[in-house]
Structures are given as C-alpha cells and as structure tokens.
C-alpha cells in the first residue's frame, strides 16, 4: 500500500486528488495539508511514502516545504512529487534542487497522476515527459547555482555518458538502446552514479548534471 499526503491550499484540488487516489486498491491518502508548514508537520507525524506538493501555497511554500522534508534524515524515505499549473514554471527546477523527486502538471490525465505516484514511491524520478527536456534546459540557463558537492572525477567515462543521457530525459530502456547494453546494465550504471554523487534519485542526478557543467543547457 502506497501512503500519500496531499498538500494543496485549494480544497477542490484536494478533494479531487483524494477521490482519484482512494479509488485505487494500492493507494491510500493518509492526510491533507493546506500549506507548506502543515505539509512538513504531517510528513513527520504520518510518514507517508509520497507527498503531492503544490508549489504556491500561503505561508511556507511548496519549495521550502520540500527542502525541509528532504533535509530531515528521519524523512529520507519520503518522496515529494511537485504539482504545478504551468509547464514552464520557474519554481519547478528550484523544487528539484530542493529535493523533489519530480513534477507533474495539474492538468495531466488521471492515469498519468496515478502512474507518477507509483513511480516516485518506488524510488524513481518522474519528470513530466511533455515538458522535461525544455524545462530543465531553460531554467538551468539562469544564474549559476552553488558548486555541486561532488565533481565529475568520481565518475567513470561510461557513467558520465549515462548521467548525461539521464539528464537529457532518457529512460533506462532508451539509454540501453542508445548504448547497446541491457536495461539492467543501464540501471546499474545509473544507481552507481547516484551513489557516488550522493543523489537520492534520478531527479537529483539531473540537477547535478547541469549544475556540474557535465552538459550545457540548450538555449533557444
């Protein structure tokens, strides 16, 4: 059973998400938060597997709430899935930097939302395929962030190549096809890179790839 906490200041959105999630046999909504502060508090009390986190909420916003959850060692098992109204929302990349495991548009199909929760709960990252490649490229092209904690020298040449493909939005199957290796081998390389770089999931690997300069954002 995947336990979900919904964090959104709009009651109608919370009701809709709850109805959708509770209708599934393997999903359970364990709580609702109306702002970032209560999202952090309920995460500590309820220990959900996934937090559906709105970005713009009163008081403590979703980005800071995500940062506090990700920074708490006791909450390391919790994954945050950012929900946003806009495909080109500058808050999204900030949320990934804060520790979110991915993002999804609020107008996504119900099936996509259910899939996203499942993907994030198992420890993978979910970056909405319709906007990921352009979104990441656009917003990391902004002011340079703080230097990453680990340099490229900790990775082998093969691992650097695979991290670049992850950051370009490729799945393990697509990486395997591109590099003529098995999906399992691709997954092993990705996991090793995450371990070496202290990234909790693929979303953080994407952030690292751009912040380290491994790949350069494509400007329009």
In sequence order, the 6+-apart residues with CB closer than 8 A to the CB of 180 are none
Q: Nearest-5° angle of CA 206, CA 166, CA 220?
A: 70
Q: What is the pLDDT at residue 220?
A: 43
Give the range of the structural domain holding residue 15, as residue numbers without chain letter: 2-126
DSSP characters over 179-201: HTS-HHHHHHHHHHHHHHHT-SS
Task: pLDDT band for 219, please (50, 70, 90 cuts).
Answer: very low
Q: Mind listing the pLDDT tens digit for each residue in 59-70? A: 999 999 999 999
Answer yes or no: do 72 and 106 share one domain. Answer: yes
Instruction: Break the chain down into helix, strand, coil percent, rounded to 5.
Output: 50, 15, 35
Quick check: is 218 in a domain?
Answer: no
pLDDT digits (tens, 9 = 90+) for 167-188: 877 888 889 999 999 999 999 9
Question: pLDDT by residue (tens digit) across 106-155?
Answer: 888 899 899 889 988 887 766 655 445 555 555 555 555 555 556 788 99
Same domain, 11 and 85: yes
| C-alpha closest to that of 151 among 213, 217, 71, 99 | 213
On the 0-12 / 13-18 / 19+ scale of CB atoms within 10 A, 66 is buried
Report yes or no on 219 lying in a domain: no
Model pTM? 0.74
């Amino acid at each position: 059973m995947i336990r979900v906490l919904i964090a959104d200041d709009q009651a109608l959105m919370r009701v809709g998400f709850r109805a959708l999630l509770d209708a599934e046999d393997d999903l359970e909504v364990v709580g609702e938060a109306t702002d970032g502060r209560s999202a952090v508090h309920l995460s500590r009390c309820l220990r959900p597997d996934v937090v559906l986190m709105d970005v713009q909420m009163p008081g403590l916003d979703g980005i800071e709430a995500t940062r506090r959850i990700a920074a708490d060692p006791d909450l390391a098992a919790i994954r945050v899935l950012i929900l946003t109204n806009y495909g080109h929302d500058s808050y999204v990349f900030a949320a990934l930097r804060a520790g979110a495991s991915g993002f999804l548009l609020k107008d996504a199909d119900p099936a996509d939302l259910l899939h996203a929760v499942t993907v994030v709960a198992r420890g993978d990252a979910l970056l909405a395929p319709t906007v990921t490649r352009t979104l990441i490229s656009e917003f990391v092209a902004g002011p340079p962030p703080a230097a990453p904690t680990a340099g490229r020298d900790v990775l082998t040449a093969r691992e650097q190549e695979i991290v670049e493909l992850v950051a370009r939005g490729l799945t393990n199957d697509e990486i395997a096809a591109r590099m003529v290796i098995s999906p399992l081998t691709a997954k092993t390389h990705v996991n090793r890179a995450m371990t070496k770089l202290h990234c909790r999931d693929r979303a953080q690997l994407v952030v690292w790839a751009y912040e380290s300069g491994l790949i350069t954002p494509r400007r329009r």
